[in-house]
């Protein structure tokens, strides 16, 4: 049945990486209460289905997959709204006042306005530095789908910004 060793490894992983998990959850709900709820739900799911984790090497993607899908489920159940918390808002205002970085705010806003799934691809690929294959696994989609959707999203974001991001980089992945 369950491998004691891999269950133990999973626990250690969750404890050691709790901040990453929290940040990922937070990126969906933008408030600590819901983020903590998501963390809790995700971890219960992960631990109680630890026997389905086949490859300890893939533990990170597997845990992320649970977090992302728990978060997407949560958002689907909620009315879709764009939530920006006070802290993020402050940090925007600070950077606007300080470094004169308008395009950053625009991009951030544009990313917030993406659908949760489109945003997930951006977050996982660019904030979490995951490979396209890992993003595809987490979102349970085909690698080509992930690639083309991400490409489409970047194109869309570029239209909304003054300074374009280089879409080229995607094709090299």
Partner 1 sequence: MSEKNRKENNMNEKKFDELKEEYEKVAIPEELDQVVRKAIQSGKKSRKNRQWLHRVSAVAAAIVIFVGGINISPTMASVLAEVPGMKNLVQVLTFRDYQFDDGLHQANIEVPAITGLEESGLGDALNQKYLEENQALYEQFMIDVKEMEALGEGHLGVDSGYMIKTDNERLLSIGRYVVEMVGSSSTVIKYDTIDKVEQVLITLPSLFKDDQYVAVISDYIVDQMNQAMDKDPNMIYWVEREGQEEVLYFEPFRQISPEQSFFINPDYKLVISFDKYEVGPGVMGVQEFVIPTEVIADLLVSNEYIKP
Site of interaction with partner 1 (CB under 8 A) = 1-3, 6, 11, 14-15, 18-19, 21-23, 26-27, 32, 36, 39-52, 54-55, 72, 75-76, 80, 87-88, 91, 101, 103-104, 107-108, 111, 115-117, 122-123, 126-129, 131, 137, 139-141, 161, 163, 165-166, 168-169, 172
Q: How far is the CB of 131 from partner 1 (least distance, A)?
A: 7
Quote the strand ranges of the chain, DSSP E: none
- Helix, strand, coil percentages (3-state) for the chain, rounded to 5, are 75, 0, 25
Among residues 54 and 156, whose Cβ is nearest to partner 1?
A: 54
Spatial CB neighbours of 99, under 8 Å, sequence gap ≥ 6: none
What b/e sequence results for 92-120 when a residue is b if at least 16 CB atoms lie within 10 Å of its CB, and e otherwise? beeeeeeeeeeeeeebbebbeebebebbb
Dmax over Cα atoms in the chain, in whole Å? 58
Q: How far is the CB of 151 from partner 1 (least distance, A)?
A: 13
Q: Which is nearer to partner 1, 97 or 163 (CB)?
A: 163
Choice between 115 and 155, CB closer to partner 1: 115
Q: Which is nearer to partner 1, 129 or 159 (CB)?
A: 129
Q: Is 100 left (phi over 0), alpha (psi -120 to 50) or beta?
A: left
d(CA 152, CA 82): 21
Closer to partner 1 by Cβ: residue 140 or 155: 140
Tell me how far, at minimum, the Cβ of 120 lies from partner 1, in Å.
11
Round to whole Å and give the CA distance between 108 and 137. 25
Shortest CB 111 distance to partner 1, Å: 7
């Amino acid at each position: 049945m369950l491998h004691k060793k891999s269950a133990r490894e999973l626990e250690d992983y969750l404890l050691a990486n709790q901040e990453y998990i929290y940040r990922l959850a937070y990126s969906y709900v933008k408030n600590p209460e819901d983020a903590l709820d998501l963390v809790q739900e995700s971890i219960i799911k992960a631990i109680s289905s630890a026997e389905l984790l086949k490859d300890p090497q893939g533990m990170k993607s597997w845990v992320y997959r649970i977090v992302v899908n728990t978060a997407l489920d949560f958002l689907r159940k909620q009315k879709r709204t764009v939530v920006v918390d006070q802290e993020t808002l402050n940090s925007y205002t600070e950077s606007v006042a300080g470094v004169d970085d308008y395009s950053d705010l625009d991009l951030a806003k544009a990313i917030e306005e993406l659908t949760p799934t489109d945003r997930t691809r951006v977050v996982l690929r660019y904030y979490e530095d995951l490979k396209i294959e890992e993003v595809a696994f987490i979102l349970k989609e085909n690698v080509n789908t992930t690639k083309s959707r991400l490409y489409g999203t970047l194109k869309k974001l570029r239209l909304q910004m003054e300074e374009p991001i280089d879409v080229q980089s995607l094709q090299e992945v």
